[in-house]
Amino acid sequence: MIIKFKEKDCWNCGGTGKYNYWSPCPNYGKSMRKGCPVCKATRKAEHKYSQDYELTPCKMCKGTGKLMETACSYVPGAVLAAIPVAVYRDYHETTWNEAYLGAGFAVSVLNYSDGKNLTDDQVIKMARNHLTHVQYCNIGTEVEGGIELCDHLGIFTGTLGFNVRKVMSNEEVKLLKEYCYD
Ligand SMILES: [Zn+2]
Ligand SMILES: [Zn+2]
């Protein structure tokens, strides 16, 4: 399943297309022993930024107020909530990292020591609570104009806590099981 990127209000200007770019004193970087005629600075690092700025076209959206989402945009909560999850217990962290170096985590929760005493449901609830700011690249693979959604999000528990990571396919699930002690 592919989630298409949508056009959203530009995060930089809030959709207005205008943004306050404060401009530095035109003498910025120059030594001014007698004091800068513009901003009164006497040392080159002390020139000030203009306080009476003008609203100028936003550089992020080129004044349109709109930006297309990208793989780095945050996934809306409703989409996150709809992605299935699975718990992988006692996951053999080091070996997996060697095999999948650079695989991104959607979320990483460390330093809870009672993981072994938690049920799957409790671990899932805890993971869901932490899944708030997740980028598209962490829930799938980027394709033209969108993201191919992962099969599910795997919650990998270990002695230190858990990581949540996308699992793309059944083959990957099989491979994962080999890396779990279960
Ligand atoms: Zn903008
Ligand atoms: Zn100045």
Measured in Å, residue 142 CA sits from the centre of ligand 2 at 47
- Which of 35-44, 126-135, 165-174 shows the lowest per-residue confidence on average (mean pLDDT)? 165-174
Q: How far is the CA of 25 from the centre of ligand 2 (A)?
A: 5
* C-beta separation of 23 from 49 below 8 A: yes
Note whether residue 121 is domain-resident: yes
In a domain, 34, yes or no: no
CB atoms within 10 A of CB 182: 9
- Residue 30 lies inside a defined structural domain of this protein: no
Q: Where are the alpha helices (DSSP H) in the chain?
A: 77-82, 93-99, 120-130, 170-179
Q: Does the pTM exceed 0.85?
A: no
**Residue 86 forms part of a structural domain:** yes
Give domain status of residue 4, yes or no.
no
Q: What is the pLDDT of residues 98-138, one digit of tens each?
A: 455 445 677 777 656 566 678 899 889 988 998 888 999 99
Closest-lying ligand to the alpha carbon of 55? 1
In a domain, 72, yes or no: no
Handedness of CA 25, 29, 34, 35 (dihedral sign): positive
Domain containing residue 152: 77-179
CA of 122 relative to ligand 2 center, distance in Å: 59
Rounded to an integer, what distance in angstroms lies between the CA atom of residue 59 and that of residue 61? 6
Q: How far apart are the CA of 12 and the centre of ligand 2, in A?
A: 28
* Digit-coded pLDDT (tens) for 54-103: 678 999 999 999 999 999 999 998 999 999 999 988 766 555 554 554 45
* Domain count of the fold of the chain: 1
Q: Which ligand is nearest to the CA of 46?
A: 2
For residue 174, is it within any domain? Answer: yes
Counting ligands in written order, the one closest to the CA of 8 is 1
Q: In angstroms, how far is CA 15 from the centroid of its own chain?
A: 20
Nearby residues of 11 by Cβ (< 8 Å), 6 or more positions away: 60, 67
Mean pLDDT lowest for which of 35-39, 91-95, 133-137, 149-153?
91-95
162 domain-assigned: yes
- Compute the distance from residue 67 Cα to the ligand 1 centre, in Å: 7
